[in-house]
Amino acid sequence: MDLVLEYVVRGAHGVFFSAAGDFIWLPIAMVFIGVLLGIVIGAVPGLNGPFAMALSLPILISTFGVSNAALLPILGFLIGVMKGATVGGAVPAILFNTPGTPDAYLTTLDGYPMAKNGQAMKALKIAHFSSAAGDTFSDIVLFLTAPVLAVFIERILDLPEKSALIILSLSFMAAVSGSSAIKGLIVGVLGMLLALMGSTLSGNGPRMTFGIIALGNGLPVTSAVLGVLVISEVFMGIEQSARDRLSRVAALENPLSGDNSFGLKDIRAIMPRVCTSAVIGTIVGALPGIGTTLAATLGYESARRLSKHPQKFGTGVPEGVAATEAANSAVSGANLIPVLSLGIPGNFAAVFLILAVESVGDFTLGPSLFRFTEIKNVEGYGMIINKDLVTCFSIFTLMVLGNVFNWTIGSWFLRSLGVLARIPKSVMLPVVLLITFTAVYAQDGGFVAIWIVLVFGTVGYVLRKLNVSILPFVIGFILSPKLEELVRGAYSASGGDSFFMLKSPLALAFLMIAVAIMVLAGRRKPHRVP
């Protein structure tokens, strides 16, 4: 226990103080700015946290560089954006009945009727409290479970098992994150193949470059992900704008009236729904690829079923707002459980945190992260310490700071952003496009990066039009190099045995589960991707 406490203290110390013992303000300021920007982004319909993280990452790397000293400020900003955006999404849903994301639609069911009844400020206060509470609960679960899970995985999984586990994760995400499991699997494999362009681990020269010299080092990850996620969304927005001219959203028809206070009595009334939804959101978030929409749906439905007056839901019930916001916010922290313990991203926000870690410093994610090496001085060798674990606890400290800022300034800042929900897309889309092109030009090397981001934007646009989720494509693109490294290592360690995965009972079990998931998912009825 003393050893764990020592690492926790060292991690927190690294956020607030330099190696020389001087107070440093930059990581704290970056979390603060990230939270504010995240709330702003969340309040604009059509934008969200991963969207802002995608645009910010190349700019942050260009500004701070790729040294170890830059890791905490960059991660602090991205974590702040992730947390702030979960809170800000309630603004347009409650005030103007314009949800920016599918899960925010459920917030409109009771939030907008409350606003029409003159209780807009009360609805926003409930949304803020529930969102911050769900996020905080999820973070606590992350802090307690990620180390235990990582240590357990490190002890029982070798290279074949880790390879099979990645295959299982990709199959699971393909099965649950789109309208069709087969479509999800195909686009996931497509993402994996494109990630293998360029140099090989064996050093045999570039592959699949079609003679294009600029692709010899592979496709730039940042440009590819920005294209699929951001540019494709811009293309969709342009198409929608061309179909019908966007009209200005009218101001709130009913002025504030009635009871807009939010005190202990209100907290006691919604707390059971907040707790239930926080647990649901945390469980859903820990499963890669599912996302916030299912969490919000389950949270809202559980609140309605457990209520003594279920027929009132949809007419302006505070419990409905609380249940939805607590559930979708609880997903964010839990999504980092597979990231820290396995190095496997489960949603878009986790993707950009992994990209930041891989681009900046020498911090390594995965099961070996939580090795509590004894801290001691060895003569002639310096101090023995797991520096990655110290950095991990620094990240936990940044998340705690994000929660503190959400609790303290989030409520006030949230209520002042109603005007952002009325910004037309004709203004936002050119700005987003310009920022994206500037970011990839600076980060990934000139006009080649711009062409790549446009090509991948077109790929993402086509996938969206075909009602195919782009999440398996992005996750496959991110995990493909890691899977190749594990498979090559396991193949070499087995003495060139092509059936090395089938020789391990646990790896074989993972593969069988992956096949079963795909078969079962293939039998379900197709649904529309939100």
Cα distance between residue 271 and residue 267, in whole Å:
6
In single-letter form, the type of residue at position 156 comes to: I
Map out the domains of the chain as residue ranges.
2-246+259-522
Token pair 């313990």 is found at: 341
CA dihedral 331, 333, 336, 337 (to 10 degrees): -90
The vertex-25 CA angle with 22 and 29, nearest 5°, equals 170
Query: What are the phi and psi torsion angles at 478 (to 5°)?
Result: -75, -40
By C-alpha distance, which of 58, 35, 23 is closest to 360? 58
Asked if residues 73 and 118 have their Cβ atoms less than 8 Å apart, the reply is no
Q: Establish how many alpha carbons lie within 13 A of residue 369's alpha carbon, considering only the half-sphere containing its beta carbon.
A: 26
Asked if residues 71 and 363 have their Cβ atoms less than 8 Å apart, the reply is yes
In single-letter form, the type of residue at position 4 comes to: V
Cα distance between residue 334 and residue 346, in whole Å:
10
The single-letter DSSP state of residue 228 is I
Structure tokens at 144: 């307690």
Cα distance between residue 523 and residue 510, in whole Å:
20
Token pair 């009209």 is found at: 247
Q: Please tell me the predicted confidence (pLDDT) of residue 252.
A: 45
Alpha-carbon distance values, 394 to 12, 16, 244, 364, 398 (Å): 5, 9, 48, 14, 6
User: Residue 376: enclosing H or E segment and its boundaries?
Assistant: strand 376-378
482 three-class SS:
helix
Per run of 10 residues, the mean pLDDT along the chain (length 530 residues) is: 80 87 90 91 76 85 85 93 85 75 76 85 89 92 84 78 82 70 83 80 65 71 81 81 56 54 86 92 77 78 85 87 90 83 76 83 79 62 73 91 89 68 68 78 73 89 85 82 84 84 88 86 58
Q: Please tell me the predicted confidence (pLDDT) of residue 179.
A: 64
By C-alpha distance, which of 55, 467, 482 is closest to 227? 55
Asked if residues 42 and 88 have their Cβ atoms less than 8 Å apart, the reply is yes
Alpha-carbon distance values, 130 to 309, 332, 458 (Å): 20, 14, 38
Cα distance between residue 94 and residue 343, in whole Å:
36
Cα distance between residue 396 and residue 404, in whole Å:
12
Helix, strand counts (H, E) of the chain: 22, 2
User: Residue 377: enclosing H or E segment and its boundaries?
Assistant: strand 376-378
The single-letter DSSP state of residue 252 is P
CA dihedral 359, 361, 367, 371 (to 10 degrees): 180
In single-letter form, the type of residue at position 521 comes to: A
Contacts of 241 (CB under 8 A, 6+ apart): 425, 426, 429
Asked if residues 147 and 463 have their Cβ atoms less than 8 Å apart, the reply is no
Query: What are the phi and psi torsion angles at 376 (to 5°)?
Result: -155, 160
Q: Please tell me the predicted confidence (pLDDT) of residue 449.
A: 81
| Burial class of residue 490, CB neighbours in 10 A (0-12, 13-18, 19+) | buried
Contacts of 251 (CB under 8 A, 6+ apart): none
